[in-house]
Chain A
Amino acid sequence: MNVDLSQFYQVFFDESAENLAEMERIFLAIDPANPDDEELNAVFRAAHSIKGGAGTFGFPDITVVTHTLESLLDLVRHHEIALTREMVDVFLQAGDAITMQLTGHRDGSSVDQQLIERVCEQLSAISGCSVASPVTKQVQSTSPAPPELNAEAASESTYRIVFTPPHDLYTRMVRMEPIFEELSAMGDFTLTAGIEPHHEFANYDPTRCLAIWEMTLTTDRTPDDIREVFMFVADEDEIRIEKSTAPAAIAPTQGETAPDGGAIQGRRLYDKNETAPGAYGRRPGEKAETSSIRVGVTKVDQLINQMGELVITQAMLAQAAKQLDPVQFENLHRGLSLLERTTRDLQESVMSIRMLPISFIFNRFPRLVRDLADKLGKQVELKLVGESTELDKGLVEKLADPLTHLVRNSLDHGIESPEARIATGKSPGGTITLKAVQQGGRVVVEVGDDGAGLNRDRILAKAAQNSLPVSDTMSDEEVWQLIFAPGFSTAEQVTDVSGRGVGMDVVLKNVHAMGGRVSIFSTHGLGSRVVISLPLTMAILDGLSVRVGNETFIVPLNSIIESLQPLSSDLNEVGRNNTTVHVRGEYIPLMRLGDIFSIPGAVQRPEEAVVMLIEAEGEQLALLVDELLGQHQVVIKSLETNYRKVDGTAGATILGDGRVALILDAVDMVRLWRSR
C-alpha cells in the first residue's frame, strides 16, 4: 500500500524554500576569511534538511545536488577545506540550481539540466571528490582530502568506541537509533554491530541483547561528550572509548569489515553520508523554532471582512443610540462606549494579522545588488534600514517589482563606476540605502543612492524630444516627475538591466494601484532618493464626515491639517475659481466641493461655511464644505467592484444610517486642482 505523499509536497516545497532562503542569507553575509562556525553548521543543516525531504518525497534529482553540496559544506564546517569567495559564489549558484529544481517539481517549469550538471561539476571540483551518482550508492567524502589540509583537522580526534550493552537492553525498551544518529551528527561516524562471541546458538533467547556495537567517530568533541550521548542508556563500564592515533580511514562501502572475533558481517548502519530517507538531520533544540502557524490567506481575508462588517454595525448602533437620553439609558451608553473601544482594538489586531515585515522583500536585494554590481563592475554596498517595519501582506507582494526596478536603476544609472567616483573625489564604493518607516497612517519606503543624481538638463531635453510640455522655469520636483512618462529614458545605451524606458511609468502605475504615491528628490553629483508612500491598511480608515448640500463625504483624517471658518478679510477672490484663503501667512487656494461635484444647494460663501485644509504631495488645498459632521472610523468599500473608480475618491463607505458616502482622496483632489 502506497501512502500518497503528494499531499505533503507543498509543505516540503515551502520548507525547502525557507531553507534555501536561509542558506542564501548566510552565504551573502558570511566572511570567507573568518566564517562563523554556527553559520556554517546552519547552512549544512539546511542543505541536509532539503536532502532528506527530497529523499522522502521522491525527488532524486534534488537529492543528488543537495548531497554534493552538503558533503562539501560538511568539509567546510569541519575546517577541512578553507572557504573562499569563489566557493561562496558556487554555493549561491548551487542554491539557485536547487531552487530551479524545486520550482520545476512544483510548477512544472523547465529545468536547465546543463546548468545543474555544471553546478555539480563545480562543487566537486572544489572538494576534489567524485560526484555522487544517484541515490543508492554511497559517497566517499572524507578520504580524498588533500594532504596539506589534514593539518587543519588537528582539533579533531578519532575515537574507537565499543558499547557492550547489558542483556536486558531490549526488554528495557531502549532504542539505539537516536543514540547512533546523535553520534553520527558529531562527526564522521561508522558503526559495526557484532554478536557476543562464544554464544551457543541452540540456547538463543531473542529477548536478550547479544549485540556489541563498535564505532569509530572522528570528532572535535571530547570523550565526555561522547559518553554523555549514552547517558540514559548505558553505565560507565559498558562503554569503552579509546583514542585512535591514525586518522579515520573511512571508506564506507556496502557490507564489509567484520568486527573482531565475530563471524557475522555487520552492515554499516549509520554512516553519516547515507541518504537515509526521512533523515532530516534536525536535532531537538538546535533549529530555532519560530512559533508561528500557517494560515490560509482566504481565512484571514474572511476575518477582515467580518471585522469590517462589525465596525459598520457598531457604527449603526452608536448612531441609533444618539437619540436616546443619556441619563435614562446610561447603561446602554456605557455598554456602547465599551463596545466601540473593544471593536477598535479588535480591528487593529485583525489588521495586524495581515501585516508582514518589509524584510520579506528587502531580503532579496543583497543578492541582487551583489550580482548586479559584479556584472556592472561597480562597487556597491547595500544598507537596509527599518526592515522590521510592517506592511499589509498584499502591499508587500506588490511592492517587490517597483522596488526592484528602482534598485536596478540606482545600480545602473545612479552609482558611478569606481574610477568616475574617484575622479569626482568620492569613495570608489557607492551605497544604496533601502529604508522603510511608519509615518502617521502611512508607510514610507525609500530607495536612495549616493551616485550621480538626476541630470536635469538631460531630462528636459529628452522630454522636449518626446513632445512633453516643458519649460525652463519648472521646479526640480516637476522635472523629476517627467521621468514617469511612458517610454522615457535618458540612458545612452539600453542594457538588459534597464534603459528601455518601460520602467518608471510602470512603477508609478503599480504604486498608484496600491493607493500610494511616489516622489523623487535628487541633487546633481550627490545622489537621488525615490520615496514611495503607501497606506498602512487598505480596509479601514479614520475620517471626518462632512456635508455638502445634502450629500455626505468622508475626508481621511491623515490628510487634514485643520478646519476653520474664515473671516471675509481672510478671503481673496480673483474670479470665482480663484479664491484663496489666508491662513497664518500663507495663501491657500480654495476648492469648492459643491462645484466640483455639481451639488446643488451647497453653501456659497466661505465665511458661512467651513474650510478644511488638506495636504497632499507637499501641496496644501482648502476644501469648502458646508458643515463638519463628526469623526468616524469607516470601512472602505470598493467602488470598482461593481462600478468603477470615481475621480476624486478613494472608495466609498457605509454610514451608520445605512447610506453610502464617498471617501475623498487628497491626492486626487490636489491633482484635479493642478490640472484645471
Chain B
Amino acid sequence: MNMQIQTTVTAGGGVREYLTFTLGKEAYAMDILKVQEIRGYDVVTHIANAPDFMKGVINLRGVIVPIIDMRIKFNQDTIVYDEFTVVIIMKVLGRVIGMVVDSVSDVVTLSPDKIKPAPEFGSGINSEYITGIGTSGEQMLILVDIERLIGSDDMQLMAMADNRLDMAA
C-alpha cells in the first residue's frame, strides 16, 4: 500500500502546487488544479435522508452543487457555521462539489524531495486517501488524494443503483 502511494507521488514528477486547509487540528493540502473557487458558507438547501456530512445543495451561478462538510465526516467536536466558515469549490471526477473546511491558507509549492510517504494514521482521514506528507517551512501537511476521497463509496456522492428513500417510521 505504501509503495503504491510512494510511486504515485514521485511518478508525478516535478513541482506541484497545493492549496492548504485545516480541519480541526490537522493541516491538509490538495492539488490546486482541482480547486475552482473558495466561498463562504451560505444558505444550503437540505436534501432529505442523505448522510449527515452531506449538508445539501447550493446555487452556484445557476448550477446545483452539493456541499459536504468534512468536519462532520471526520467526527470533529466543535462545528460552527459563521462568517469565517470556508467552502472549497472543487472540480473533481467531472463534477463540481463544495467541501466545508475550518480554514484555508496558502498555496504552497512542493517539490518531490519535500514529500515523504505517509505512515499509517489513526486520526481523521483514512490513510488510503493520503498520498504523502509534505513539509513547507515548519509546517507538516497531509497530502490528500481528493479524487479518491470524493469518489469513495462511503461519501455516497456518486450515483448508486438504488437509493430508495426510507420512509420514516
Instruction: Point out residues on A near B: beta carbons under 8 Å.
Output: 309, 312, 551, 577, 595-599, 637-648, 652, 654, 658-662, 672, 675-676
Contacts and interface: CB of A to CB of B under 8 A. Distances in A.
17 contacts: A595-B167, A597-B48, A639-B64, A641-B63, A642-B95, A643-B64, A643-B65, A643-B95, A643-B157, A644-B159, A645-B159, A646-B47, A646-B50, A652-B57, A659-B43, A659-B59, A676-B167
A660 B160 CA distance: 23
Contacts of B165: 596, 647-648, 672
Given A644-B159, A644-B160, A652-B57, 20 more contacts: A577-B167, A596-B167, A596-B168, A597-B48, A598-B49, A599-B48, A637-B62, A637-B63, A641-B95, A643-B65, A644-B157, A644-B163, A645-B159, A646-B50, A647-B49, A652-B64, A659-B43, A659-B59, A660-B56, A675-B164
Contacts of A599: 46, 48
Contacts of B163: 644-647
A643 B167 contact: no
A654 B59 contact: yes
Contacts, number: 82
> Contact size class for B?
20 to 34
Nearest to B159: A644
Nearest to B47: A646
A596 B160 contact: no
- How would you classify the secondary structure of chain B's contact residues: helix, strand, loop or mixed? loop
A639 B64 CA distance: 6
A672 B164 CA distance: 9
B66 interface: yes
Contacts of A672: 165, 167
Contacts of B160: 644
For B62, B95, B164, the residue with the greatest tally of chain A CB atoms inside 10 Å of its CB is B62
Given A642-B64, A647-B165, A661 B45 contact: yes
A676 B165 CA distance: 10
Nearest to A309: B62
A646 B48 contact: yes
Interface string B76-117: 000000000000000000011100000000000000000000
Given A312-B62, A642-B95, A551 B168 contact: no
Contacts of B57: 639, 643, 652, 660
Contacts of A643: 47, 57, 64-66, 95, 157
Nearest to A638: B64
Contacts of B164: 647, 675
A640 B49 CA distance: 16
B58 interface: yes
A660 B168 contact: no
Nearest to B43: A659
A415 B97 CA distance: 53
Interface in B27-51: 43, 45-50
Interface string B129-155: 000000000000000000000000000
B158 interface: yes
Contact of B97 (A637, A642, A645, A648): A642
Contacts of B59: 654, 658-660
A204 to B, nearest CB: 77
Contacts of A639: 57, 64
B45 A660 contact: yes
A659 B44 CA distance: 8
A641 B57 CA distance: 12
A620 to B, nearest CB: 19
Nearest to A652: B64
A643 B55 CA distance: 12
A647 B159 CA distance: 12
A309 B63 CA distance: 11
A109 to B, nearest CB: 30
A675 B66 CA distance: 28
A595 B169 CA distance: 9
Contact of B46 (A551, A595, A645, A648): A551
A661 B164 CA distance: 20
Nearest to B91: A642
A642 B45 contact: no
A309 B160 CA distance: 30
Contacts of B168: 595-596, 598
Contact of A551 (B45, B63, B167): B45
A647 B64 CA distance: 16
Contacts of A654: 59, 62
Nearest to A305: B62
Contact of B48 (A596, A638, A644, A661): A596
Nearest to B160: A644
Nearest to B93: A642
Nearest to A660: B45
The 5 residue pairs across chains A and B that have the minimum distance between CB atoms: A597-B48, A647-B165, A644-B159, A660-B45, A643-B66
B48 A642 contact: no
A675 B157 CA distance: 25
A29 B47 CA distance: 55
Nearest to A648: B165
Contacts of B48: 596-599, 646, 648
Contacts of B97: 642
A520 to B, nearest CB: 24
A597 to B, nearest CB: 4
Contacts of B96: 642
A644 B64 contact: no
Contacts of A309: 62
Contacts of A551: 45-46
Given A596-B167, A659-B43, A641 B64 contact: yes
A316 B157 CA distance: 30
Contacts of B159: 640, 644-645
Contacts of A652: 45, 57, 64
Contact of B45 (A638, A644, A647, A659): A659
Contacts of A637: 62-64
B167 A642 contact: no
Nearest to B158: A644
